[in-house]
Amino acid sequence: MLWSEIRKGYPDQWLVVEALTAHTDGEKRILDELAVTETCPDGSAAMSRYRQLRRQYPDREFYFLHTARQTLDIVERHWLGIRGSNALHAA
Residue 42 has pLDDT above 70, yes or no: yes
In a domain, 86, yes or no: no
Helix, strand or coil, per DSSP, at residue 25: strand
Write out the residue range of the structural domain in which residue 54 sits: 3-77
Threshold 0.85, pTM exceeds: no
Residue 87: per-residue pLDDT: 52
In a domain, 54, yes or no: yes
Task: Count CB neighbours of 46 within 10 A.
Answer: 22
Per-residue pLDDT reduced to its tens digit, 50-82: 999 999 999 999 999 999 999 999 998 877 766
Count the domains in the chain.
Answer: 1
